[in-house]
Structure 1
Amino acid sequence: MILSDKRILEEIERGSIIIEPFRRECLGTNSYDVHLGKYLATYKDRVLDAKKHNEIVHFEIPKTGFVLEPNTLYLGVTLEYTETHNHVPFLEGKSSTGRLGIDIHATAGKGDVGFCNTWTLEISVAQPVRIYVGMPIGQLIYFAVEGDIETFYNSKANAKYNNKTTRPVESMMWKNEF
């Protein structure tokens, strides 16, 4: 079940959902709009290796915006820091973003219960598009969880994306054993 606007507000008041900064006008009927933070990153190497640590280069989006180019994976980050303690958050694109040909996540749209951080975005574009810091980039949808949680994401010893950050984070696939 997806939470409604009223239910999201109730959960924020209870402290089970935290969104910083929170702006009431960003609350939709059953979602919350998130915005593009000031940092992007790209991988240093053209060919990535899933078994190795692929390093990234961070850069700040200028006030005049930045043109994203096709055939490049950009890692972005949400302006908002979120915590979700009793619900499953899903990050989806906005229709206005999609109509510009911007995809904001390759496959990683779901957060786990206990995820406490900004959201790294895996951004790709169909054609060149100028983007800006603070532009609406996506929306969070919250799902109710059935049953008790045994291990929250933020208490897992092997959680790879627990370190609080305001910058995009590269893939940690290399930390898996395979």
Structure 2
Amino acid sequence: MILSGLEIAERIGNDIEIDPYNSDQLNPNSYNLRLHDELMIYEDSILDMRKENKVSKLTIPESGYELIPGKLYLGRTVERTRTDNLVPMLEGRSSIGRLGMFVHVTAGFGDVGFNGFWTLEIFVVQPLIIYPNVEICQIYYHHLDGEHTVYKSGKYQNNNGIQPSKLHEDFK
């Protein structure tokens, strides 16, 4: 079952934290998260799963930044979220998708107990100018049945910003 927007609002400060929280971003069954002004791109044209790939940081100016097709951009949400006893999920807003922008390649599924900013895996099908603080995606919550363990991965938990892939750590 997915939580309603009213239930999300009711649980803020308990098993759901969204910081900063703004009730204007609440939907009937989700909450809109905004795009931070930071972006990260990989420097090499060929990435290697076994290695820590080099990245560069960019800042999205208020006047906008043009995304180019065929390039992966890592972004992050303005909001930090924490969830206990629920499974957080992330999807792009339909208005964003209708512009040919994807906000995640495969990482829309969160873990119970996740605490941090969401890293967005952004790509576009045609050139698109983006702006900071736009409501880019929505978080929604599923109930979790049965006993469970809480997400404790040292890779991405309690992050302070954009997280490039740390898959190379799995090869050690």
The TM-score by the shorter chain falls in which range?
over 0.9
Identity, % of aligned pairs?
45
Given candidates 155, 165, 168, the residue that maps to 2:162 is: 168
**1:148-163 alignment runs, 5 A limit:** 148-149=147-148, 151-153=149-151, 156=152, 158-163=153-158
Q: Calculate the TM-score normalised by the size of structure 2.
A: 0.96
The one-letter code of the counterpart of 2:105 is: A
Return 5+ residue gaps in structure 2 as ranges.
none
Residue 164 of structure 1 deviates from its aligned partner by 2.4
* CA–CA separation in structure 2 for the residues paired with 1:172 and 1:2: 30
1:106-148: per-residue Cα shift (whole Å, max 9, x none)? Answer: 0000110110001000000000000000001100010000012
* CA–CA separation in structure 2 for the residues paired with 1:160 and 1:128: 32
Aligned residues: 172
The one-letter code of the counterpart of 2:154 is: A
Residue 9 of structure 1 deviates from its aligned partner by 1.5
Moved over 3 A (4+): none
CA contact (8 A) 1:75 1:170 kept: yes
Question: Where does residue 9 of structure 1 map in the other structure?
Answer: 9
RMSD: 1.2
* CA–CA separation in structure 1 for the residues paired with 2:144 and 2:11: 13
Residue 177 of structure 1 deviates from its aligned partner by 3.1
Return 5+ residue gaps in structure 1 as ranges.
none
* CA–CA separation in structure 2 for the residues paired with 1:152 and 1:163: 13
The one-letter code of the counterpart of 1:76 is: G
Question: Where does residue 49 of structure 1 map in the other structure?
Answer: 48
Does residue 177 in structure 1 map to residue 165 in structure 2? no
1:140-177: per-residue Cα shift (whole Å, max 9, x none)? Answer: 0100000122x311xx2x43102421x31100110113
* CA–CA separation in structure 1 for the residues paired with 2:51 and 2:25: 39
Residue 10 of structure 1 deviates from its aligned partner by 1.9
CA contact (8 A) 1:42 1:58 kept: yes
* CA–CA separation in structure 1 for the residues paired with 2:12 and 2:147: 20
* CA–CA separation in structure 2 for the residues paired with 1:55 and 1:162: 21
CA contact (8 A) 1:87 1:145 kept: yes
